[in-house]
Amino acid sequence: MSGRRLRAALLLAVLALAFSPGIARAQALVADLTSHLVAITTGFTGTSVVLFGATDGAGDVIVVVRGPERDMSVRRKSKVAQIWVNTREVTFAQAPSFYSVASSRPLDQIAAQPMRQLQQIGLENLRLKTAGTVSPEETAEFREAFLRNQIRAGLYVPAVGQVSFLGSRLFRTTISFPRNVPTGTYRVEVFLVRDKAVVTGQTVPLVISEIGLDAEVHDFADRYALLYGLIAVLLAVVAGWLASLPFRHS
Amino acid sequence: MDIYLPIAELSVDVIVLLGLGAVVGVLSGIFGVGGGFLLTPLLIFIGIPPAVAVASSANQLVGASVSGVIAHWRRGNVDFHMGAVLLVGGFLGSAFGVWLFAILRRVGQVELVVTVSYVVLLGILGSIMLVESTRAIIRQRRPGGARRKLHQHMWIHGLPLKMRFRRSKLYISAIVPVGLGFLVGILSAIMGVGGGFIMVPAMIYMLDMPTAVVPGTSLLQIIFVAANVTVLQAVGNGTVDAILALILLVGGVIGAQLGTRFGARLRGEQLRALLALLVLAVAVKLARDLGVRPIDLYSVVMAGSA
């Protein structure tokens, strides 16, 4: 879609949302995504989705994007007999597989720290629970390593994105996903903030899934592992046989 | 052009993969080895998770060996009886290897064990080949050197359960080929290699098989061991990327044609010396990586995976 057409469509959608009787009056905040489904196909190199919405007056908007929760293990290497070996592992239970924040103004200017902590706004406020008992020092050490690795992989975004207001009530922001984005159901949490406190919030779901041949292959390999293995062998045998045909008479 | 690999779960440039397949294909064309021992480390170099690299290499190997066996079979150079006996050990070994692999995955040491195995095996193999080929080159320049004894008697020939292998003109204990097959089966599962580089010298020097039937027979059993590993890895670990294997095969076929033509123009000893240097280079690179302090001591994986 061209930029102009997208913008026009957005504006229409926002206006429809904002001025439809009953909705705007009943709710202080309305938000939606331009697309609720991101398809990962063979040539996928990352994508972005636009979140747009309207408020019922002045205020700031914070958007938090959380990927599907997964148990993530962090392994630490240490030097054993001249080589680096994984020697310690700490697992964080149900950590978001993706995390990014966008805001209309710098976070510390519009939201009080206790509130940010409560709503887990900002990477430093992300709650990560270790599976099993781990000492506080080690938890802190592995937490830092975890965040650093996720940031390097592009899965946690440390920079706060921009939510831009069009006038005083309509807002939009662009949520970007890297090529290695995990699949699953994402939660896009939108907060309306006034006087450093959350007035209201809304959660918009977003599904990111593999589509096409790759998805089917992955799904099949998961569900019918034995059959998949046999087919993989058969394909290789046929490919090997085909490869030998040109040399038949030599 | 990027392609998304469904099991490896990442996008890789198709040209890079085809190139890798071709390079390995050229090598197998020139030297007559499967090339698995180079393919797996190269896949790990370009960022494929080691577990997926190992399992998919085994998958690729099935195809590569099939075309190899067909070529040798046409010349009558396959000992099916010996192949079957080797296979008994191969199946047992690969099942044991895949089981071992699953345990290593759980404790997070796959990468280490795969890399260390490669360093040790490639290091030994490269050194032996280098010494042997250098000697051959020297011997060529100074004719009239000592000849190898036609038939050597070792402890191996005293083992029970003797069997006659007509095509190989051998009468030896079945324990030896079964044990050899078992060892190669484990290697195949843990390292994603066919084990041709172990099997071929062992067949020549330990079993005393005629050199002509060695490559075909070795490849024959590799087909089945690699197929067994592929299926077991798919079921036990879910790490076989068939798309990756097929792309590598396409590159491999093209490479093997080029390699065979190129190889015909070079001299055997020089070729072996060249391969030895290449093998040693890979071993040194892998060994150095083990000792180099990683950029980040910490790594993140999804719980329960490699």
Between B267 and B103, the more confident residue is B103
**Residue numbers of the domain that contains A226:** 212-250
Distance of CA B47 to the CA centre of its chain: 20
Structural domain count, chain A: 2
- In this model, does residue B149 exceed pLDDT 50? no
Q: With CB atoms and an 8 Å threshold, state whether A248 touches B74.
A: yes
Question: Is B297 contained in some domain?
Answer: no
Residue A185, C-beta contacts closer than 8 angstroms, at least 6 positions apart:
A68, A205, A206, A207
Query: For A70, which residue in chain B has the nearest alpha carbon?
Result: B302
- Judging contacts by C-beta atoms under 8 Å, the chain B residues touching residue A228 are 234, 240, 242
Question: Is B15 contained in some domain?
Answer: yes
B115 contacts B286 by C-beta, under 8 angstroms: yes
Question: Is B98 contained in some domain?
Answer: yes
Shared domain for A107 and A173, answered yes or no, is yes
pLDDT band at A77 (very low <50, low <70, confident <90, very high): confident
**Residue numbers of the domain that contains B255:** 2-141+152-291
Shared domain for A218 and A132, answered yes or no, is no
- H or E stretch at A85: strand A83-96
- In this model, does residue A97 exceed pLDDT 60? yes
Query: For B251, which residue in chain A has the nearest alpha carbon?
Result: A243
Single out the residue of B24, B34, B27, B22 nearest to residue B65, CA to CA: B34
* Number of separate helices (H) and strands (E) present in chain A: 7, 13
Shared domain for A103 and A44, answered yes or no, is yes
Q: With CB atoms and an 8 Å threshold, state whether A83 touches B67.
A: no
B288 touches chain A (CB under 8 A): no
Question: Is B299 contained in some domain?
Answer: no
Shared domain for A127 and A9, answered yes or no, is yes
| CATH number, domain with residue A17 | 2.60.40.1930
Cα–Cα–Cα angle for B170, B66, B187, nearest 5°?
A: 70
Q: What percent of chain B has pLDDT over 70?
A: 88
pLDDT band at B153 (very low <50, low <70, confident <90, very high): low
Share of chain B residues as helix, strand and coil, in percent rounded to the nearest 5: 70, 5, 25
What integer is the mean pLDDT of B187-197? 76
Who among A72, A150, A247 is closest to B303 (CB)?
A: A72
Which segment of A41-55, A204-218, A235-249, B240-254 scores lowest on mean pLDDT?
Answer: A235-249
Model pLDDT for residues A1-32, shown as the tens digit of each residue: 455 666 666 666 655 555 554 444 457 889 99
Range with top average pLDDT, A78-92, A144-158, B109-123, B161-175: A144-158
Of A40, A92, A180, A233, which to mutate for an interface test with B (greatest number of B Cβ within 10 Å)? A233
Question: What pTM was estimated for this model as a whole?
Answer: 0.68
Question: Is B232 contained in some domain?
Answer: yes
**CA distances (Å), A206 to each of A35, A61, A108, A160, B260, in order?**
8, 19, 27, 20, 53
Return the structure tokens found at A150.
């996720």
Q: What is the pLDDT of residue A164?
A: 93
Chain B nearest CA to A210, separation (Å): 9
Q: What is the pLDDT of residue B211?
A: 74
Structural domain count, chain B: 1
Q: With CB atoms and an 8 Å threshold, state whether B231 touches A230.
A: yes
Who among B3, B223, B230 is closest to A232 (CB)?
A: B230
Single out the residue of A95, A102, A99 nearest to residue A123, CA to CA: A99
Query: For B14, which residue in chain A has the nearest alpha carbon?
Result: A43
Model pLDDT for residues A148-206, shown as the tens digit of each residue: 999 988 899 999 999 999 888 899 999 999 888 888 899 999 999 998 888 899 999 99
Who among B62, B256, B290 is closest to A237 (CB)?
A: B62
Q: What is the pLDDT of residue B267?
A: 67
Q: With CB atoms and an 8 Å threshold, state whether A73 touches B302.
A: yes
- H or E stretch at A138: helix A136-152
- In this model, does residue A131 exceed pLDDT 90? no
Instruction: Return the number of CB contacts < 8 Å for A and B.
Output: 189
Shared domain for A183 and A239, answered yes or no, is no
Length of chain A: 250
- Judging contacts by C-beta atoms under 8 Å, the chain A residues touching residue B242 are 217, 221, 228, 231-232, 235
Q: Where are the alpha helices (DSSP H) in B75-109?
A: 80-106
What integer is the mean pLDDT of A58-62? 91
- In this model, does residue B217 exceed pLDDT 60? yes
Shared domain for A246 and A124, answered yes or no, is no
- In this model, does residue B101 exceed pLDDT 60? yes
Shared domain for A197 and A234, answered yes or no, is no
- H or E stretch at A221: helix A213-223
B212 contacts B40 by C-beta, under 8 angstroms: no
Residue B208 Rama label (left phi>0; alpha psi -120 to 50; beta) = left
Shared domain for A226 and A202, answered yes or no, is no
3-class SS of residue A220: helix
Query: What distance in Å separates the CA atoms of residue A47 and residue A178, rounded to the nearest whole number?
Result: 7
